[in-house]
Amino acid sequence: MKGVDGLVTKNLFLRLYPFGYKKQLFPAAVLSARLGCGKGGLAWAPEELLAESLQVEPGCVTPLALANQDSCKHVLLLLDQKLQAPGCKFCVHPIVNTASVLLDAAGLDAFIKGIGRTPIYADLEADPKIDKDNPPDLKQFADTIEPPPKDANNGGNLSDTVNLQVLRHLESVFRSADANGSGELDMEEFVAAFKGVISTPEGSDDEALRKLFMRIDANCDATVGWDEFSAYLLLEKTNSSGGAAVQGQAVPDGSSGRTFSTTSPPVLQPGVAHRELISSLMHVDTGNGPDKWYSLAGWQEGGGGGLGLGGGRELLAVGDADGGVSLMEVLADDVADKKSIDRYHGRQLWRCVNHQDWVVGLTPLPQLSSLLAASLDKQLTMTDLERRIAVKTLSGHEKAVTCCAWSGMYKMAISGGADRLLVLWNPFSSRPLGQLAGHVAPLVAVAVNEREHQVISAAADKTIKVWDLRNQRCLQTLQDRATHSPEDTLTALAYSPSRKLLVSAAYSLRAWPLTDGAAGGCGHRDPVSWVGFNPMFCEAVSTDHAGTVCVWHVASGKLRFAFANTHGSCRISAATFDSNHRRLITGAEDGSVKVWNFSSGALLSTLATPNYSREWGSGSGAEVTGLAVSGSNNALNLVVAGWDRKVTWYDDSGKRRCNLLRSSSGPGSDILAAAPMQGYPTLATACYNGEVWLWNLESGAVRRKLLPQGHASRPVNEQPVERLAFMQGDARHILVAVGADRMLRFWECFSGALLCEHFTAHQQGESVAGLALAPDNSSLVTADTAGYIMAVVQVVAKGAAPVVPEPGSIVIAKVTKVSPTAANARIVCCGAQALEADFSGVIRQQDVRTHEIDKVVMYDCFRPGDIVRAKVLSLGDARSYHLSTADNSLGVVRAKSLAGVAMVPVSWQEMQCPQTKAVERRKVAKVEEA
């Protein structure tokens, strides 16, 4: 400016771009390195960030804008040391660019100190050496500034600024680091190439970049190609793997309908209760008069359906145990007490039989002049009320149908069953429209709230779910906390549109009023089906019934990433990590199994699972309930168990489609859970009939079957084993199982002994939905379907862990049987320690010696009663280890002659009786003297 003495200054408001920037300012890379941010490059900050932070217009960057202290807390002010020259003056804008203020260093320092900051002067044109011995000289000042939040527009997240320009820059860096031209980088090359170029939510240091490399290298081949890297960036940014969820955000519910009060529901009519469980509940809207509620109890376990008022008569349909439906006229005794439940009785008008088993649910279809009946024979029928014949049959449930309802607005029938599913039916085509999955216990009742477009279902575990018929999503889950005696369960539901009241029944009626507001959510919109902790990345991964996978930061509890529609419309029923914790394996209710890179949502592999739709029906016939990984890094297998009552092995070769290797059938009932033993090729499976099977993961053979004493005398509903878990470390051979009888059982797997039992104290009717053990085996917790952790058990180990033969172990065994192809033996010692449990072994003909195998005669090598020193080759088949004596130090170490005298060896294949001098052939061990 004319007439004003002073330095000409330039005020720059810069932003650090972690990926680098094409048009860098000089000396941007140097200044970035001096600040300890690598050489990513500094460039002009966008106008919106200028307005947000300094709160000034473009062309008005000034240090005086730091007076806006709240918005500038993420801004670092650096001043060139030339401004400290004696007598130096300079001009700055006073927040607006239409004026200037003449200052000197002392005046500017006074302003900066007045707002609580310390003036920082530096030679901004210097280029000092920065290496391991010379740390960044300006980093100490940068560390004093509070970093902006991760979701702010600061470029600090790997996926925040992914665009074409950034991708081109990253590809250039990638190609430059590929010195051998292979098109791939190993971990160290990747870290060296991108250090200072990119940053992640974990940071930009070497450890953070190594974690990023492992996220991208989900197939664990120790290299990353450009296609893998770019696909990871784009998938994390756009979540394009079929995801409806948004990265870094909770999944919006999209359903804002009214829901029911979650407070403890009051009894509808205090002092009135049935002596038996209510099997059916009906609501009758009488217009101007008070509503009527009909409850039916003690009618041969049957259901009932009210047909409303007509001609002065109240009609009631009732089902019976022989598959029949009766139409009753409800009559009232005018003499009896009007408050007595014994005042009403029924007179049968007609009866027809259309089912082969109990009819447990009935509902009228007024628009079709029909009656819908649900039966334990797995079918529903629509009976014409005039002709009294079945005009439609609806088939699709896997197990017994227990309840039904009708929506006149949607012209839709709804049924619930023991398979825990709600099925929506088109009554005209007799085909299902959809399924609603989320309950963990058999359904007992269903009701419809047409005004709010809702269907309400109740399960035997006293859980009530409210569903939106429009998008088939669960809006709310209610839990009846009241205790019903003698049977603590729910049996019926009904809804009153006029009173906006949901009524549940057991022995009495309880009311749930309709309220404004929607059920909120955080991350998942549907019930969570599995959660696991990944120690590799210190993250938790969860799945739900809608097929959504969420990845969470454990330290902050925030959602890092989510992807959805993993199995189409089917719910995820099982999940696990691979042995390297790089991939997520998910199984669904339709039997499908997929392998994912859970860090990006990329689908890596699909298992060639059988199509059970013809055998079981669509939906949940071959539901996957257990997943495991077996084998070594060179030959990995995926193991699947489920409702098909099989354990199936698949080739995990890294191909897009994993082929079936073998399948083993064993349990005679559905497999409900599975758990692999740590560091040992054993898989435990829990069955609906109460059995626990132990499988050899290498051979597919069954090792042992575990079943507690008195199991057959227990009620059928208390027999299933619901959850399994192995203990860790030296106690890894101990299996913890929890069943429907609410008992914890500790099994010693090698001997099959039941060590102890413990009652979990869960209430009757609630299923145990979770079982977890502490890594040090000090405690375990169980959780029930009501959502509460009900039991914490202190686990105390008594004595040292027993010795168990493992591949490579040297064992002492006693021969029990000799056949032309093998010798069976009982293992008594492993190393120098005696075994507490019995273990069987087999020495096959090809494992006796290393030469002339085809000439081996088993009876010339071993005899029953011989003591043999052998080496464990593998876990073998069934219950026997594979043993080998194919070494000079292995073979028979002690044998008795026909005279009963201990023989002495005379050669590597002969032993002599010292009493009779008779020579007998053996495969003799040459034991070195100690």
Summarize the confidence of residues 540-555 as an average pLDDT.
Answer: 88
pLDDT tens for 372-404 read 999 999 999 998 888 888 888 999 898 999 999
- Average pLDDT of the chain, as a whole number: 79
What separation in angstroms does the CA of 25 have from each of 20, 29, 42, 44, 204?
11, 8, 7, 8, 22
Cβ atoms of residues 423 and 396 within 8 Å: yes
Distance separating alpha carbons of residues 138 and 705, to the nearest angstrom? 68
Q: How many residues does the chain have?
A: 930
Cβ atoms of residues 866 and 897 within 8 Å: no
For residue 456, the model assigns a pLDDT of: 93
Radius of gyration of the chain (CA): 37
For residue 18, the model assigns a pLDDT of: 44
pLDDT tens for 465-504 read 988 887 777 888 888 888 887 888 888 888 888 778 888 8
The position carrying tokens 């008779």 is 918
For residue 313, the model assigns a pLDDT of: 63
For residue 234, the model assigns a pLDDT of: 64
For residue 737, the model assigns a pLDDT of: 92
- Lowest average pLDDT, out of 151-165, 357-371, 546-560, goes to 151-165
Q: E-strand spans in 74-232?
A: 79-80, 89-92, 101-104, 121-122, 184-185, 224-225
What residue type is 577 in one-letter code? Answer: F
For residue 116, the model assigns a pLDDT of: 84
The position carrying tokens 């089912």 is 355
What is the full DSSP assignment across 830-866? ETTEEEEEEEEEEEEGGGS-SS-GGG--GGGT--TT-
pLDDT tens for 236-277 read 654 433 333 332 333 333 344 566 766 666 666 666 677 777
Q: Considering only CA atoms, which of 220, 377, 344 is closest in space to residue 274?
A: 344
For residue 256, the model assigns a pLDDT of: 43
Summarize the confidence of residues 759-780 as an average pLDDT.
Answer: 81
For residue 910, the model assigns a pLDDT of: 92
pLDDT at 430 over 80: yes
Distance separating alpha carbons of residues 229 and 641, to the nearest angstrom? 34
pLDDT at 22 over 50: no
If one compares 613 and 883, the residue with the highest pLDDT of the two is 883
pLDDT at 149 over 80: no
Cβ atoms of residues 372 and 416 within 8 Å: no
Most confident listed range (318-332, 689-703, 884-898) = 884-898
Q: Say which residues have a Cβ less than 8 Å from residue 227's Cβ, sequence separation at least 6.
A: none
For residue 867, the model assigns a pLDDT of: 94
How confident is residue 303, by pLDDT bands cut at 50, 70 and 90? Answer: low
Percent of the chain with pLDDT over 90: 17
pLDDT at 26 over 50: no
For residue 794, the model assigns a pLDDT of: 61
For residue 586, the model assigns a pLDDT of: 93
If one compares 260 and 57, the residue with the highest pLDDT of the two is 57
Cβ atoms of residues 689 and 706 within 8 Å: no
- Lowest average pLDDT, out of 11-20, 533-542, 586-595, goes to 11-20
For residue 831, the model assigns a pLDDT of: 83
Q: E-strand spans in 774-909?
A: 779-784, 789-794, 810-818, 822-830, 833-844, 867-874, 880-884, 891-894, 904-907
For residue 269, the model assigns a pLDDT of: 67
What are residue 217's DSSP bridge partners?
none
Distance separating alpha carbons of residues 419 and 115, to the nearest angstrom? 68
- Lowest average pLDDT, out of 106-115, 196-205, 692-701, 843-852, goes to 196-205
What is the full DSSP assignment across 270-316? TT---SS-EEEEEEE--TTS--EEEEEESSTT--EEEEEEETTEEEE
| Alpha helices in 733-850, H assignment, sequence order | none
How confident is residue 292, by pLDDT bands cut at 50, 70 and 90? Answer: low
3-state SS class at 49? helix
pLDDT at 655 over 80: no
For residue 247, the model assigns a pLDDT of: 29
For residue 616, the model assigns a pLDDT of: 40
| Alpha helices in 180-287, H assignment, sequence order | 187-194, 206-216, 226-238
For residue 85, the model assigns a pLDDT of: 84
pLDDT at 281 over 90: no
If one compares 16 and 18, the residue with the highest pLDDT of the two is 16
How confident is residue 28, by pLDDT bands cut at 50, 70 and 90? Answer: low
Cβ atoms of residues 783 and 768 within 8 Å: yes
For residue 726, the model assigns a pLDDT of: 92
Cβ atoms of residues 172 and 178 within 8 Å: no
Kindly report each contact of residues 207-215 with a partner whose C-beta sits within 8 Å and lies 24 or more positions away, as own/partner. 211/536, 211/537, 212/158, 213/187, 214/187, 214/536, 214/537, 214/582, 215/537, 215/582, 215/597, 215/599, 215/600
For residue 521, the model assigns a pLDDT of: 41
How confident is residue 818, by pLDDT bands cut at 50, 70 and 90? Answer: very high
CB-based burial label for 895 (10 Å; 0-12, 13-18, 19+): buried
pLDDT tens for 555-587 read 777 888 788 888 887 889 999 998 888 889 999
The position carrying tokens 């680098």 is 20
CA dihedral 632, 633, 638, 639 (to 10 degrees): 20
Q: E-strand spans in 633-701?
A: 635-642, 646-651, 657-658, 660-665, 671-676, 682-687, 692-696
For residue 678, the model assigns a pLDDT of: 83
Q: Which helix (H) or strand (E) holds 458?
A: strand 454-459
Distance separating alpha carbons of residues 896 and 900, to the nearest angstrom? 5
Number of CB atoms found within 10 A of residue 755's CB? 13
DSSP 8-state secondary structure symbol assigned to residue 616: H
For residue 415, the model assigns a pLDDT of: 94
Q: How far is CA 355 from the centre of its chain?
A: 39
pLDDT at 309 over 80: no
Distance separating alpha carbons of residues 864 and 706, to the nearest angstrom? 30
Supply 745's token pair. Answer: 């059982």
